[in-house]
Structure 1
Amino acid sequence: MSAPRYSTVAIVLHWLIAFAVLSMVPMGWWMSDAIAEPGAQATAYRVFQLHKSIGLTILALTALRLGWRLIHVPPAPPVSKAWEHALATVTHAAFYVLLFALPLSGWLYVSTGWSAPQDRALAVATSWFGLVPVPHLPGVAEAAAETRRDLAHGALGAHSLMAWMVLLLAGLHIGAALKHQFIDRDGVLARMAPFLPAPQARPEPRLSPGRGAALWGAAVVAVAVVAALGWMAGRPATGLGPAEAPAAAAAPAAGPAEPVSPGTATAWRVDPQASRITFSGVHAGAPFTGRFERWEAQIWFDPADLAGSKAVADIATGSARTGDATQEGSLGSAEWLDPAGFPTARFEATAFRALGGDRYEAEGTLTLKEQTVPVTLAFTYRREGEVARVEGTTTLDRMAFDLGMASDPSAQWVSRRIEVKIEVVAQPAG
């Protein structure tokens, strides 16, 4: 005898996946339009990240559901006409195929680092609900720009058309369930709805392996045809989009930091636990703040010997943290801070002048990704016994350092000006 209803695990997985899928379609429609509206950009960005996270969750839950189904025999199908039975089997099989194909096509799309609607590069990292970084599909992000562009347009076209197929099948599935419940009255809906009385078990024969394989094959072919049609419909015109930047040259191997010639003023030893370097700006219409967790500084400073004062700070570019795994993933990419190619940024100040009271100004340079740019740091200096406290600010133009110039050259997503603040607590080194 067949079990009267699906197992508790199968029921929970079914409804989790169902509600997740039904939430994704309106979410996708809304965010696709809202992302171009300045007033909705920040919300649309967050919805995009949520959409990706739910999609990855659907992929994992579907794999779990299929594995559970293979080792736990589902209830026997109801007595029905042969064509109804075949249609139900193809529908269920197509759902499984789509629940794998849709998230994978979305994953492929975001891995390309290309915005198909805007037809330009747009590299955005992916994280699962902002908690765990999710890598791009192997080999996609490293492909040539033309290849990534073609993949992005095709993947988005397939993704969109398969979403319509899910809606069509969902309507068919719901309609069939209601027919069984209110017209046939055969208890089929109760097999997956725990709030309904369980139907009686029945010794219903199942599909032969050959017939079952043929119906599953038909489902795979149907989804493949829809995906192919969407892929072809989404293909772009020939030639790169207008906003594509040339591919960056391979970064040279980073050597050890150059030695620092000391100043003649008082040498200071920085307290790393009480000191910090932070940065802030605007991303997708919302302010953000980050910090560098690893850096070292050598400081020689004396208000009475400004000519002999000097400061050098080496910052580990891979230690940038914002508390948002998606932002951190983007900062760690080659387009932004590129810690793999340029693990260290160096700020070196060699000219100081007093502004009155405890206010000073340091003139120097910041070298990041082989770009050396003049920087002026305004700061305050206060000494209490053997402890000195320094607080300073400067504003950097990220474009001068070739940060995000392929994806966001017009500062549509990330502000051009980035404010950097330092807080240093130090004691005499002697």
Structure 2
Amino acid sequence: MPQRYSIAAIILHWAIAALLAFQIAVGWALEDLGARGFDLFQLHKSVGITILALTLLRIAVRYWKPRPPAKEGGWQGGLASAVHFGLYAFMLAAPLTGWALVSTAKVKVPTLIFGVIPLPHLPVPASAHEVFEGSHGLIAWIGIALFLLHVAGALRHHLLLRDGLLWRMAPGRSQLWLVALPALILIGFLAGRAIVPTGAPPAPAPVAQDLDMGNDAANMAEAQNAAVAADGDNAAANASDDAEEETGEPPAWAVQPGGAIRFSVGNDGETISGAFSKWTAQIVMDPARPESADLSVTIDMTSASVGDAYKDGMLPGDEFFATAAHPTATFTAKGAQETSPGRYSANGTLTLKGVSKPQSIRFSLSGDGATRRVRGIASIARAAFGVGNGESSGSLAPQVAVTFDFTARRKD
């Protein structure tokens, strides 16, 4: 029988050991990070599934390639065999209970292995969530104990019994291997600790509801006045257009391609920002007579994205937008008020997730004649619409900032 494990077994052994050390370092920190640990949690899942796959491969290699005979018999040999069996059980059970834990959670967070390969949820009952949650934590601590016992046993053989046990798990009899290979475990642990956020959460980035468009509106009005003073003929023509609008029906405006509706919300010291890629707007308004405004905006809620595959997979769920039952949101308003030159406000109704509530918006207009640029903001109380009503939303700020920026052209 050979006195050394196969190269395949050696590679898998040390790779799994390094990944387990990484998981231990990360797992200790996850519960205390809150929302800041979202991306780290996704990585933790990916590494866990990788360990599961490598363990299955390691078991196959164990029975495919011959193994060195046991070094010791009696109760010591029996204990070593029990530790080995326990480690294999741990390397299978830990990722499987973690997978089941995610599969039974109220919030269905999609699992993408390293952000690329989708992993389906296990067909297990949601009522077992607490069982899997408790089991996963207990198994982790048992695994740490087995890990330490395994290391202690290997060191006993190599340093006290001097039977060369460690050489069986090295590709050659060089002291360099005895330093480099165990160092992989330390590197894995330190890498896990290094990517864990430390210190206080960063200050949240400014969100849209903090913006003051007063200066922008004043600057727009100033630029318009300068343009009018420089070109009397255009000013006269525009005045004529305004006079026609005052005496006739207010004009309708067509939104031009390239506009955007964005949203942002504070999240445990950070800011989550996203946008809706599909929306339409019907606008009727004479800027000189804002009370004539008739506004209607329809947003395709399935088009929401924050630029992260995991978070995007959560948005259509019941905790957030419930797009299966409520695929669109609408805002309508009759009339607007000019609050300062070029700056307006409108009070209307927002219907989101099947709930209709009063909602106000602020916006500014720049440009003149047949083309205007529209920029605006709104602050939405998400709880009133049942957005972010689950456990994973506890750290979200109560107000969601929405901004819009587009160009509209007057219809003939």
Report the TM-score range of the alignment, normalised by the length of the smaller protein. Answer: 0.7 to 0.9
Displacement of 1:60 in angstroms is: 3.0
Letter in 2 for 1:297: A
Letter in 1 for 2:67: P
Displacement of 1:74 in angstroms is: 4.4
Separation (CA, whole Å) in 2 of partners of 1:17 and 1:84:
25
Letter in 2 for 1:374: P
Separation (CA, whole Å) in 2 of partners of 1:53 and 1:159:
16
Alignment of 1:54-133 (within 5 A): 54-70=47-63, 72-81=64-73, 83-113=75-105, 123=107, 125-128=109-112, 131-132=115-116
Partner of 1:415: 397
Give the alignment partner of residue 270 of structure 1, picking from 232, 242, 255. 255
Matched, 1:338 2:322: yes
Cα 1:134–1:347, aligned 2, differ >3 Å: closer, same or farther? farther
Partner of 1:320: 304
Letter in 2 for 1:19: A
Task: Give the aligned length.
Answer: 339
Matched, 1:175 2:152: yes
Letter in 2 for 1:387: T
Matched, 1:22 2:6: no
Mean CA deviation greater in 384-393 or 284-293: 384-393
TM-score, normalised with respect to structure 1: 0.70
Displacement of 1:161 in angstroms is: 2.0
Separation (CA, whole Å) in 2 of partners of 1:129 and 1:350:
49
Cα 1:179–1:370, aligned 2, differ >3 Å: closer, same or farther? same
Give the alignment partner of residue 270 of structure 2, picking from 267, 286, 289. 286
Separation (CA, whole Å) in 2 of partners of 1:79 and 1:86:
11
Q: Match of 1:327, SS?
A: helix
Separation (CA, whole Å) in 2 of partners of 1:87 and 1:68:
23
Matched, 1:378 2:355: no
Cα 1:190–1:427, aligned 2, differ >3 Å: closer, same or farther? farther
Letter in 1 for 2:103: S
Partner of 1:353: 337
Q: Match of 1:334, SS?
A: coil
Displacement of 1:285 in angstroms is: 2.9
The answer to whether the 8 Å contact 1:78/1:188 transfers is no
Displacement of 1:379 in angstroms is: 0.3
Partner of 2:178: none
Separation (CA, whole Å) in 2 of partners of 1:179 and 1:171:
12
Separation (CA, whole Å) in 2 of partners of 1:137 and 1:310:
49
Cα 1:380–1:23, aligned 2, differ >3 Å: closer, same or farther? same
Alignment of 1:388-407 (within 5 A): 388-407=372-391
Separation (CA, whole Å) in 2 of partners of 1:6 and 1:130:
29
Cα 1:349–1:195, aligned 2, differ >3 Å: closer, same or farther? farther
Separation (CA, whole Å) in 1 of partners of 2:3 and 2:369:
81
Displacement of 1:398 in angstroms is: 0.6
Cα 1:78–1:68, aligned 2, differ >3 Å: closer, same or farther? closer
Cα 1:128–1:61, aligned 2, differ >3 Å: closer, same or farther? farther
The answer to whether the 8 Å contact 2:113/2:119 transfers is no
Displacement of 1:392 in angstroms is: 0.4
Separation (CA, whole Å) in 1 of partners of 2:369 and 2:166:
79
The answer to whether the 8 Å contact 2:108/2:317 transfers is no
Alignment of 1:127-166 (within 5 A): 127-128=111-112, 131-132=115-116, 134-138=119-123, 140=125, 143=126, 147=127, 151-166=128-143
Cα 1:265–1:194, aligned 2, differ >3 Å: closer, same or farther? farther
Cα 1:4–1:61, aligned 2, differ >3 Å: closer, same or farther? closer
Q: Match of 2:28, SS?
A: helix
Identity %: 36
Displacement of 1:423 in angstroms is: 0.8
Displacement of 1:422 in angstroms is: 0.5
Displacement of 1:84 in angstroms is: 4.7
Displacement of 1:400 in angstroms is: 0.9
Stretches of structure 2 that go unaligned for 5 or more consecutive residues are 176-247
Displacement of 1:316 in angstroms is: 1.5
The answer to whether the 8 Å contact 1:345/1:368 transfers is yes
Alignment of 1:229-244 (within 5 A): none
Displacement of 1:65 in angstroms is: 3.1
Q: Match of 2:10, SS?
A: helix
After superposition, what is the alpha-carbon deviation per residue over 1:245-288, rounded to whole angstroms, capped at 9, x for unaligned? xxxxxxxxxxxxxxxxxx9532322233x211111111233211
Cα 1:10–1:341, aligned 2, differ >3 Å: closer, same or farther? farther
Select the structure of larger CA radius of gyration: 2
The answer to whether the 8 Å contact 2:4/2:169 transfers is no
Separation (CA, whole Å) in 1 of partners of 2:114 and 2:311:
9
Stretches of structure 1 that go unaligned for 5 or more consecutive residues are 36-40, 115-122, 199-262
Displacement of 1:370 in angstroms is: 1.0
Separation (CA, whole Å) in 2 of partners of 1:10 and 1:295:
56
RMSD: 2.9
Partner of 2:4: 4
Partner of 2:239: none
Cα 1:323–1:134, aligned 2, differ >3 Å: closer, same or farther? farther
Which structure is higher in helix share?
2
Partner of 1:428: 410
Separation (CA, whole Å) in 1 of partners of 2:66 and 2:276:
53
Letter in 2 for 1:27: V
Separation (CA, whole Å) in 2 of partners of 1:312 and 1:279:
18
TM-score, normalised with respect to structure 2: 0.73
The answer to whether the 8 Å contact 1:278/1:292 transfers is yes
Cα 1:414–1:380, aligned 2, differ >3 Å: closer, same or farther? same
After superposition, what is the alpha-carbon deviation per residue over 1:150-193, rounded to whole angstroms, capped at 9, x for unaligned? x2332222222212221221122112222332344444322323
After superposition, what is the alpha-carbon deviation per residue over 1:211-262, rounded to whole angstroms, capped at 9, x for unaligned? xxxxxxxxxxxxxxxxxxxxxxxxxxxxxxxxxxxxxxxxxxxxxxxxxxxx
The answer to whether the 8 Å contact 1:264/1:309 transfers is no
Cα 1:366–1:61, aligned 2, differ >3 Å: closer, same or farther? farther
The answer to whether the 8 Å contact 1:300/1:309 transfers is yes
